[in-house]
Each structure stands twice: as C-alpha cells, then as structure tokens.
C-alpha cells in the first residue's frame, strides 16, 4: 500500500489545507458572542487531519526510500478499476434521475439491468435477466409499500 | 424492580417475538451469503423500523445482528468462503469436516457454540452495563472527552490494518459530523447552501452507501473483471451419511464446553473494548483453543473444537459491544454505531442517562436479546437446509437485486431523494475507502461519536480555558490521556511487527471493515 498511501496522503493533505484556508472560512462563521466560535471544533479536527495525512505520506516516503520492495507493489487502483467506478457513478446518477422523474420502478429496472449486465447475465442467462428486471423492482416496491408502509416514488 | 419486570413483559409480546424472529431469519440469510454481513443488513433495515415501537425496532435489529454472526459460518463451512470476516477461522476446521461428509455436524456445532457464546455475553451485559452507567454519570465533560479520545484511538488503531489510516478515517468521520447547525450558536456549518444539510448528513443513508452498496459495487467489479475464483459445492444432507455425522451429540458438546466458555470470555472481553470487534475475537478464540489443546496439530484438519472456539468468541462480542454503547454512549462496533442511528430515530439518546430516562426500554432490550438467542437456536436448527440452499444462489441474481434494496432503504430514511443521493455519494466514497484500505468502520464510528465528542471538548475548553492546570486534578482525565498515548504507542509497535493471521486454504474476504 506504500505508493497508494503516498498518493492518498498527499491528496488528503491538500484537501485538508484547502478546507482550512478556503472551505471552513467560507462555510463557517468564526464569531460567537458567547462561548466558542462555531468553527472551533471543525478547525481543530482539520488540523489533526492534515497532520495525520502528512504523516501518512511522509512515513511511507521514508519507508520507500529504505526498501526497494515498493517498486514491485501492485497498485490498488488499476485503470480498469477507475473505468468501473466511473461507469458505476454514471449508472447511479442515471438511476437517481430516473427515480426522481419516472419513479422507483423504472429506476429499479435500469439498476437491475445494469447490475445484471455487469455480472454477465445478458450473455449467459438473458431470460433470467429479463425476469429479474421486470419482477424485482415491482416486488420491492410492493413490499416497501404494504409491509413497511414506505411509499417509494412513482 | 418494577421497571425491570415491565421491560421484560414488553419484550414477550407476540409482535415483538415476531419481529425478533424475522430479524434473526433475515440476519442468518444475509450473513450466509458471501460478501454480505450483519451490519450491512442492519444499515438497510434501520429505516424500515420507523413505524415500529422503539423496543420492537431495536429488538428486530439485534435479531439481525445475532443471526448475521451465525449466518457467516454457514458459507464459511460449506464453501470455505466466510460469509462475514469474523467467521474466517470457522472455515479452518469447518470445511475439512464438510470434505469428510460431516458438514451438518459442523453447522450444528457452529450454531450451538454461537448461541452459547451469545448467551454468556448477554448475561455479562445485563450485569455490568447499569453499574458502569452509574460511574459514567459521575464523570464531567473533561472525563467524557478523554474517554471519547481514548475510544476513537483504540477503534482507529485496531479495526484496520494501519493506525494512521484508521486515525485519518476517524477524524474525517468526526469532521463530517460537524456539518449542520452549530450546537451552541445554531449557525449553519459546511452546508454548502444545501438546505437538506441543515440537519447534518443523515447517518443511515451514509451507512447504507458505505457498507452495503460499496461492497456490492466491489463484488460486481470482481465478477466483471474476472477476478473471482469458483468454489465447489458439497452435499451435506444426503441420507446415506451416518446419523452420527449429521448431529452433535451431548458428549461432543460437553467435550467442547471448556473451549466454548474460554472463547466466550475472550469474546466478551474483546467486545467490551470499543473497536476490536468480532474478527479479532474469532482469531483469538481459535488461537487460545489451539494453544490449550493437547493435540494442537489436529486443528485445521476438521476439529469440532476449532469451530466452537471461533463461533463462541465472535458471537460473544455482540452483547458485550452494547456495554460501552449503553453505559457511555460509545459504539463499540460498526453494528453498535448503526444502532445509535436507530435509537436516535426513536427519540432515545444512548448513554449513561438511558437507564434513568428509558429504563423500561433498556430492560426490554435485554429480555429481547435473551429471547433472540433462543430464536436464533430454533431458526438456525430448523432452517439449516434452506440456508445451505441459499448459499448456492448465484451472485448474478443477488447483487443486482440488492442494489435496488439499498436505494429503497435509503429513500425510506425520511422519504426523501436527498437520502438516496447521500447513499450514492458515500457508496463511491466507500469504494475508494475499501480499495485504499481506509477503515470505513472507524469512519462511521467517528461520525457517530462526533457530536457528543464535540460537546464534551467544547465544554471542557470553556471550563478549563483560564486554568488549564486544573485538569491535573482530574485523575480520570489523566488516566485516559495516559492510556491513549500508551495504546497509540503499543498499536503502532504491534502493527509494524505482526502480519495478519490467515489460513492457507480459506478464502478470506478482502475488504474488512
């Protein structure tokens, strides 16, 4: 995890510093007529966060200098992983949009289809996938409506 | 005494028993599916308890937790793939027993020892939580802040693979808990102009995203990118098998009793300390049984004691986890952190005052926990065939359907699309946390503790701003400050030396909380 720790440690340090100098001053008032200012605790935590993130990156850099094993280390995020999570985020965003504008069942049909497609169902079990897409969202909708009294959007 | 009896009688209603049974059934079912676990099911189920009474809701969720812990052993034994990480060492001896045609015996031993460990830790909870809460009530904000800091350190250090990454996750979780109105001045903080964030980030959709949906995304990715290994199936219900291979005799249970009690003690001790969790308890119980055995070389070859040791230890964590939650308001584990959300949803603030303000409810929960153990025993026994069948349902069916359960579960929290958005955002965050090995359990516990931690820190700063040296007159503060420093040093030292214990054969789930 050495390389990814260095990268994530540095990224988190930058995030922490941006939070301290830009986000917190813009989003939280630093003034209170009594007691402590509202930004006291978030600021305190963010300073800790920056210190820890810098320590993570720093300690792994020192380790990397000492040992050569890091060069053969497998990255936890390969290009295929980035593509996958990017695609998944798009699918989730579309499902959200569908749920808001067309209702839960349509969003469900879309989500089950995409999930099934990724699991290889279209090639191996197309009928099963079609059944899952049509039946599962309706069943979940009915169960939530009648058993748990939760009215999902229609 | 009247409160205790009233609480117990509340638990023994038909409706509550029904909810507990449903919870246990759901827990075993989810726990038995590799990759899914109890906390995941609890997170999705919390919003569904909105219309239940507080007792029914908590009893239902505790039922899921108890069932989920046992459920994890089903796939560990049958497939050599633990349904949940805490059952990893169950596979060491469970799977060899399946190979010998004694799968049913292994499953039954797992159930009996799981229930035994659970009952033991529940009894400890019933006797210890209330006296501890009385002590906690005598503590001031400085003492509470010190206890919170100590707990967060322990949680961060022990629940992941790296102390630094754990601390980062805990601090980030606590930081995000500051989103919403300031507790003193009621000024909005970090809301980015989004009105839904005025009340803060909702913990339940966040947990569903981090725990459930991100795990499903990882599993889908594993299949899509062809990183999965197939596991063979075994027949364990065949009538050709001799009767003694399909049951656990009293003599066999008795021979494991010493191991079960030892593991239950270990599990209870581990569970009472925030952050260590059932995974460590399972390994410790297994290790202790092996060390105490006259034939340690037989462990890993299909020894009933190995299963009993792991299952009694990891199940004993459940009850003990509630000791810090109920007595101090500190969630000892991921499940306990999610339970905080359930308590708050029903207007109950977990912490030392809970015994005064909701005594009847607490004793009702205790009775429900005890009841859940026996229901777990019954459902586990009679439903073995069904759960074994469930283990073999293809992931291609389960995972896509679970995605829509997550969406529906998130929406149920406040009937708002905002909750769905929060769930989806944290699913992506959780994906990265898993990939980069940042403990999401620590993150959630940091988030759950953040509000009360802030309150204690702010009160302490105001109290001791002018005379900080007065803190030296508070021995509890000094004790916990020293403990925090000492544990940080110990954990850092141990982590650099110890590599995780793994069986060469068992397929351990990669993404531990």
Mean pLDDT of B283-299: 83
User: Does B464 fall in a domain?
Assistant: yes
φ and ψ at A74, to 5 degrees? -85, 135
What 3-state class would DSSP assign to B394? coil
Domain span holding position B144: 2-497
Q: Does A134 touch chain B (CB under 8 A)?
A: no
User: Does A152 fall in a domain?
Assistant: no
Per-residue pLDDT of chain A (154 residues; tens, 9 = 90+): 678 889 999 999 999 999 999 999 999 887 777 778 899 999 999 999 999 999 999 988 888 887 755 556 677 888 899 999 999 999 999 999 999 999 999 999 999 999 999 888 777 888 888 999 999 999 999 988 887 778 899 8
Of A45, A53, A136, the CB nearest to B404: A136
In whole angstroms, give the CA distance from residue B322 to residue B307: 25
Tell if the CB–CB gap between A140 and B174 is shorter than 8 Å: no
Identify whether residues A90 and A61 lie together within a single domain.
Answer: no
Which of B157, B403, B405 is the mutation pick for testing A, counting most A CBs within 10 A? Answer: B403
User: Does B264 fall in a domain?
Assistant: yes
In whole angstroms, give the CA distance from residue B412 to residue B46: 9
User: Does B337 fall in a domain?
Assistant: yes
Provide, as residue numbers in chain A, all residues whose Cβ is less than 8 Å from the Cβ of B492.
none
Which of B168, B230, B452 is the mutation pick for testing A, counting most A CBs within 10 A? Answer: B168
Tell if the CB–CB gap between A151 and B415 is shorter than 8 Å: yes
Q: Does A47 touch chain B (CB under 8 A)?
A: no
Per-residue confidence band for B172, with pLDDT thresholds at 50, 70 and 90? very high
What 3-state class would DSSP assign to B474? coil
Of A84, A119, A144, the CB nearest to B408: A144
In whole angstroms, give the CA distance from residue B95 to residue B303: 10
Closest-CA residue in chain B for A84? Answer: B221
Write out the DSSP string of A41-76. HHHHHHHHHHHHHHHHHHHHHHHHHH-SGGGGPPPS
Helix (H) or strand (E) holding B181: strand B180-181
Count of the separate structural domains present in chain A: 2
Identity of the highest mean pLDDT range in A141-145, B31-35, B108-112, B234-238: B108-112
Of A71, A87, A109, the residue that ends a domain is A71
Burial of B175 (0-12, 13-18, 19+ CB in 10 A): buried
Length of chain A: 154
Contacts of B390 (CB under 8 A, 6+ apart): B29, B32, B33
Of B427, B436, B458, the CB nearest to A92: B427
User: Does A151 fall in a domain?
Assistant: no
Count of the separate structural domains present in chain B: 1
Give the per-residue pLDDT at A70. Answer: 53
User: Does B140 fall in a domain?
Assistant: yes
Provide, as residue numbers in chain A, all residues whose Cβ is less than 8 Å from the Cβ of B182.
28, 38
Identify whether residues A89 and A111 lie together within a single domain.
Answer: yes
DSSP code, position A20? I
Q: Does A83 touch chain B (CB under 8 A)?
A: no
Task: Give the side-chain half-sphere CA count within 13 A for B242.
Answer: 5
Tell if the CB–CB gap between B437 and A1 is shorter than 8 Å: yes
Tell if the CB–CB gap between B223 and A119 is shorter than 8 Å: yes
Q: Which of B485, B50, B116 is nearest to A149 (CA)?
A: B50
User: Does A66 fall in a domain?
Assistant: yes
E strands present in B321-448:
none
Average pLDDT, chain B: 82
Of A17, A39, A71, the residue that ends a domain is A71
Write out the DSSP string of B302-350. S-HHHHHHHHHHHHHHHHHHHHHHHHHS---SHHHHHHHHHHHHTT---
Query: Which residue's structure tokens are 């949803």?
Result: B345
Give the per-residue pLDDT at B498. Answer: 52
Q: Which of B50, B143, B22, B65 is nearest to B337 (CA)?
A: B65
Q: How far is A65 from chain B (nearest CA, A)?
A: 17
User: Does A110 fall in a domain?
Assistant: yes
Give the per-residue pLDDT at B500. Answer: 46
Give the per-residue pLDDT at B208. Answer: 84
User: Does A65 fall in a domain?
Assistant: yes
Mean pLDDT of B207-233: 79
User: Does A153 fall in a domain?
Assistant: no
Identify whether residues A26 and A65 lie together within a single domain.
Answer: yes
> In angstroms, how far is CA B259 from the centroid of its own chain?
23
Q: What are the tens digits of pLDDT across the range B214-226?
A: 988 998 998 888 7
Of A12, A37, A71, the residue that ends a domain is A71
User: Does A117 fall in a domain?
Assistant: yes
Closest-CA residue in chain B for A149? Answer: B51
Identify whether residues A62 and A123 lie together within a single domain.
Answer: no
Burial of A4 (0-12, 13-18, 19+ CB in 10 A): middle
Domain span holding position A55: 2-71
Pinpoint the alpha helices (H) of B159-196. Answer: 163-176
Identify whether residues A91 and A141 lie together within a single domain.
Answer: yes
User: Does B47 fall in a domain?
Assistant: yes
Identify whether residues A64 and A84 lie together within a single domain.
Answer: no
Identify whether residues A6 and A67 lie together within a single domain.
Answer: yes
B312 close to B259: Cβ distance less than 8 angstroms: yes
Tell if the CB–CB gap between B400 and A107 is shorter than 8 Å: no
Identify whether residues A41 and A85 lie together within a single domain.
Answer: no
Identify whether residues A65 and A92 lie together within a single domain.
Answer: no
What 3-state class would DSSP assign to B392? coil
Helix (H) or strand (E) holding A83: helix A79-101
Identify whether residues A57 and A41 lie together within a single domain.
Answer: yes
Provide, as residue numbers in chain B, all residues whose Cβ is less than 8 Å from the Cβ of A121.
396, 400
User: ipTM exceeding 0.95?
Assistant: no
Neighbouring-strand partners of residue B181 = B188
Provide, as residue numbers in chain A, all residues whose Cβ is less than 8 Å from the Cβ of B50.
150
User: Does B505 fall in a domain?
Assistant: no
User: Does A11 fall in a domain?
Assistant: yes
Give the dihedral sign, CA B65/B67/B73/B74. negative
In whole angstroms, give the CA distance from residue B456 to residue B172: 18
Tell if the CB–CB gap between B224 and A125 is shorter than 8 Å: no
Q: What are the tens digits of pLDDT across the range B412-440?
A: 877 889 999 999 999 999 999 989 888 88
Of B164, B400, B428, the CB nearest to A59: B164
Q: Is the pTM of this model over 0.80?
A: no
Identify whether residues A90 and A137 lie together within a single domain.
Answer: yes
Q: Which of B403, B425, B415 is nearest to A144 (CA)?
A: B415
What 3-state class would DSSP assign to B164? helix
Identify whether residues A42 and A96 lie together within a single domain.
Answer: no
Give the per-residue pLDDT at B150. Answer: 82
């Amino acid at each position: 995890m050495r390389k990814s720790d260095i990268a994530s440690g540095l990224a988190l340090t930058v995030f922490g510093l941006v939070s301290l100098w830009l986000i917190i001053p813009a989003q939280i008032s630093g003034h209170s007529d009594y007691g402590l200012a509202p930004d006291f605790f978030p600021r305190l935590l963010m300073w800790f966060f920056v210190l820890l993130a810098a320590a993570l990156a720093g300690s792994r850099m020192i380790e990397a200098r000492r040992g050569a094993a890091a060069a053969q280390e497998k990255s936890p995020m390969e290009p295929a992983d980035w593509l996958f999570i990017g695609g998944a985020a798009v699918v989730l965003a579309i499902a959200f949009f569908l749920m808001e504008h067309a209702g839960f069942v349509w969003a469900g049909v879309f989500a089950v289809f995409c999930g099934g497609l990724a699991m290889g169902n279209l090639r191996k079990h197309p009928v099963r996938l079609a059944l899952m897409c049509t039946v599962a969202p309706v069943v979940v909708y009915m169960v939530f409506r009648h058993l748990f009294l939760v009215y999902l959007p229609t | 005494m009247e409160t205790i009896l009233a609480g117990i009688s509340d638990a023994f209603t038909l409706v509550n028993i029904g909810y507990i049974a449903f919870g246990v059934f759901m827990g075993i079912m989810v726990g038995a599916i590799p990759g899914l676990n109890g906390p995941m099911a609890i997170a999705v189920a919390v919003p569904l308890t909105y219309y239940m009474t507080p007792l029914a809701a908590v009893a239902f969720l505790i039922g899921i937790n108890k069932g989920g812990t046992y459920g994890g052993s089903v796939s560990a034994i049958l497939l050599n793939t633990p349904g949940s990480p805490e059952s990893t060492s169950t596979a060491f001896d469970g799977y060899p027993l399946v190979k010998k045609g004694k799968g049913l015996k292994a499953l039954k031993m797992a159930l009996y020892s799981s229930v035994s460990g659970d009952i033991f830790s529940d009894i400890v909870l019933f006797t210890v939580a209330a006296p501890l809460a009385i002590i906690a009530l005598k503590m001031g904000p400085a003492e509470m802040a010190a206890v919170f800091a100590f707990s967060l350190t322990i949680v961060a250090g022990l629940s992941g693979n790296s102390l630094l990454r754990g601390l980062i996750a805990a601090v980030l979780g606590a930081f995000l808990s500051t989103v919403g109105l300031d507790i003193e001045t009621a000024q909005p903080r970090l809301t980015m102009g989004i009105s839904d964030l005025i009340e803060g980030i909702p913990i339940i959709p966040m947990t569903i995203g981090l725990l459930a949906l991100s795990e499903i995304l990882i599993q889908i990715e594993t299949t899509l990118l062809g990183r999965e290994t197939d596991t063979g199936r075994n027949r364990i219900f065949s009538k050709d098998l001799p009767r003694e291979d399909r049951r656990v005799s009293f003599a066999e249970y008795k021979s494991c009793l010493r191991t079960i009690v030892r593991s239950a003690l270990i599990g209870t001790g581990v569970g009472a300390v925030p952050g260590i969790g059932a995974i460590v308890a399972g390994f410790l119980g297994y290790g202790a049984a092996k060390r105490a055995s006259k034939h340690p070389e037989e462990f890993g070859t299909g020894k009933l004691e190995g299963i009993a040791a792991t299952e009694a230890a990891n199940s004993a964590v459940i009850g003990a986890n509630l000791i810090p939650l109920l007595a101090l308001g500190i969630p000892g584990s991921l499940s306990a952190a999610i339970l905080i959300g359930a308590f708050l949803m029903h207007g109950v603030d977990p912490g030392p005052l809970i015994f005064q303000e909701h005594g009847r409810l607490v004793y009702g929960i205790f009775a429900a926990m005890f009841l859940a153990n026996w229901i777990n025993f019954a459902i586990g026994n009679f439903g073995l065939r069904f759960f074994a069948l469930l283990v073999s349902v293809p992931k291609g069916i389960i995972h896509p359907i679970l995605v829509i359960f997550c969406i529906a579960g998130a929406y149920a929290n406040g009937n708002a699309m905002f909750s769905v958005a929060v769930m989806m955002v944290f699913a992506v965050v959780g994906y990265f946390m898993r990939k980069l090995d940042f403990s999401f359990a620590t993150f959630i516990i940091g988030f759950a503790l953040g509000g009360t931690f802030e309150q204690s820190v702010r009160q302490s700063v105001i109290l001791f701003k002018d005379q900080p040296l007065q803190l030296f007159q508070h021995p509890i503060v000094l004790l916990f400050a020293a403990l925090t420093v000492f544990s940080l040093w110990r954990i850092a030292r141990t982590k650099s030396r110890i590599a995780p214990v793994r069986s060469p054969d068992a397929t351990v789930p990669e993404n531990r909380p």
